[in-house]
Amino acid sequence: MTATLVSVTSGRLGRARSRALLTGVLAAVVVALVATSLMVGQTFYGPGEVLRVVLGQHVPGASFAVGELRLPRTTLALVAGLALGLAGVTFQTMLHNPLASPDVIGISSGASAAAVVAIVVLRLPETLVSLVAIGAALLTALVIYLLAYRDGVVGTRLILIGIGISAMLDSVVAYVIVRAATWDLQTAMRWLTGSVNGAVWSTVAPLTLAVLVLAPVLLAQARPLRLMQHGDDAAAALGVPVERTRVIAILAAVGLIALATAAAGPIAFVAFLAGPIAARIVGPGTSLMVPAALVGAVLVLGADLVGQHAAGNRYPVGVVTGVLGAPYLVHLLIRTNRAGGSL
């Protein structure tokens, strides 16, 4: 009996060390991508020059290219990826379904539709457009939650309602875009594809602050959310305040999605892909929040590098992530259908 207990304990410790190592590797990949994004461009600057600029020293040429252009862009890609990955895996964990990501169930579509209307119809300035997008994302999440609530929230019902709401909002966007003037289209397209082009500190700072404030809130809900995967009744029997946990998780996750969308537009499929990829990397048996956040950062940073430098033309980051995410969505739907399951 003692030998068996020692063997089980040793196995758990080994898996925990392996997961910690793999999470550390993900963090190192994020750091490497950040460094590459700051060094590579029309002019290459070495690590020493980049470090001097980051530390506030003046370096001819590099101070502008790195400090004014690349650093805000890279920071936005980093924090947007962290926010999207963390929010996406929160919804997927809470609703026990890989399709339950904010970009699939319509929250990002709410922000995009409101932003496009604000730009094309209301002609609002950029600051107000961001505020409208944040408010619309929160309102969309509330509407989906209320429509799905019936003696609790069932994941399948919420996903189906979210997909329906998303389709309605996409129709609104299509109608507004058809009637838009040519000079409004370029601005509106950022809210439809997702882009970190033209990032400035005034848009990066609110999202960075949101990640610093809301990420710890979600991490504190990691254990209750894992217990809720066994069902609300089982989680309540183990002392989890189910509805309170769900409301806190939804508010924090929607806040991250809303601010990330307001800063960079709806970067497609990052929230959807980060959790499943993190699960493949670190394996089951632990919270995926930190690994998924890091995977989200890897996806956005990597997609931005590919979009800028891997092809003859420069593509917004959302185009690259869309190319990656769409085949996985089709694969997931086919696999679920073959298994005889539902959403």
Rounded Cα gap, residues 139 and 168, in angstroms = 15
- Tell me what pLDDT residue 297 has: 96
pLDDT in tens, 3-27: 554 554 555 666 778 888 999 999 9
The rounded distance, in Å, linking the Cα atoms of 265 and 79 is 13
Q: What is the pLDDT of residues 151-192, one digit of tens each?
A: 666 667 888 888 899 889 989 888 888 877 767 777 777 778
Site of tokens 């309102």: 139
pLDDT, average across residues 292-296: 95
pTM recorded for the entire structure = 0.89
Domains located in the chain, CATH noted: 14-338 (1.10.3470.10)
Kindly state the average pLDDT of the residues 274-288. 84
Could you give the 3-state DSSP secondary structure of residue 149?
strand
- Among 20, 46, 25, 23, smallest CA distance to 35 is for 46
User: Is 70 exceeded by the pLDDT of residue 139?
Assistant: yes
Is residue 188 within 8 Å of residue 122, measured between CB atoms? no
CA angle 254, 94, 130 (to 5 degrees): 10
- Between residues 43 and 216, which one has the greater pLDDT? 216
**Is the CB of residue 115 less than 8 Å from the CB of residue 264?**
no
Cα–Cα dist 75/203, whole Å: 11
Question: How many angstroms separate the CA atoms of 109 and 100, rounded?
Answer: 14
Mean pLDDT of the chain: 85
Q: Among residues of the chain, what percentage have pLDDT more than 90? A: 29
Tell me what pLDDT residue 5 has. 47
pLDDT at residue 123 greater than cutoff 50: yes
| Number of helical H runs and strand E runs in the chain | 15, 0
Q: Which two tokens stand for residue 337?
A: 């259908």
Angle CA 191–193–197, to nearest 5:
80
Closest CA relative to residue 78, chosen from 217, 207, 193, 190: 207
With 70 as the cut, is the pLDDT of residue 37 above it? yes
pLDDT of residue 87: 94
pLDDT of residue 8: 47
Give the per-residue pLDDT at 9: 56
Distance CA 306, CA 317 (A): 8
